[in-house]
């Protein structure tokens, strides 16, 4: 039977666990699932005003959560789900740029869903699933 191991990285992750009781990642055997990661600064919880920087930071936060759970990063991600509060046309370039940069040897499954709102001023949040060999 699988054992669930939950992970909360320092700063935003630990604060979210304390205030809302949710974890940033769970490891189930050879799989790591990541909670939605926005473009927040992991120490301050603040969001950049620049959209490109927000998207880059969200991708960085996904990688940080994967590594904190024992993975290596985006090279292990096989599925993503991206929630956005703005039209896809306004953010697609930044999403594509990051996927090409971080997933050089594969293209993970991806879905983008436009939603009414996310945390504070967030315009993007990324969930990911990684396979750990």
pLDDT tens digits for range 77-113: 999 999 999 999 999 999 999 999 999 999 999 999 9
- What's this model's pTM, rounded to 2 decimal places? 0.96
- Can you give the residue ranges of every domain in the chain? 4-131
Query: How do residues 5-26 score in pLDDT, each as one tens digit?
Result: 999 999 999 999 999 999 999 9
pLDDT digits (tens, 9 = 90+) for 21-61: 999 999 999 999 999 999 999 999 999 999 999 999 999 99
Residue 133 pLDDT > 70: yes
User: Domain 4-131 in CATH: superfamily?
Assistant: RutC-like (3.30.1330.40)
Residue-by-residue DSSP string for 92-122: HHHHHHHHHHH-TT---EEEEEE-S--STT-
133/34 Cα distance (integer angstroms)? 17
């Amino acid at each position: 039977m699988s054992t669930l191991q939950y992970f909360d990285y320092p700063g935003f992750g630990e604060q979210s666990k304390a205030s809302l009781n949710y974890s940033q990642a769970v490891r189930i055997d050879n799989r790591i699932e990541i909670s939605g990661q926005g473009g927040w600064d992991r120490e301050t919880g603040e969001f950049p005003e620049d959209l490109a920087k927000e998207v880059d930071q969200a991708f960085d936060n996904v990688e940080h959560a994967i590594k904190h759970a024992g993975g290596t990063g985006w090279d292990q991600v096989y599925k993503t789900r991206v929630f956005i509060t703005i039209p896809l046309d306004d953010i697609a370039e930044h999403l594509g740029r990051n996927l090409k940069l971080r997933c050089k040897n594969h293209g993970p499954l991806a879905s983008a869903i436009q939603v009414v709102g996310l945390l504070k001023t967030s315009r993007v949040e990324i969930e990911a699933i990684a396979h750990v060999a």
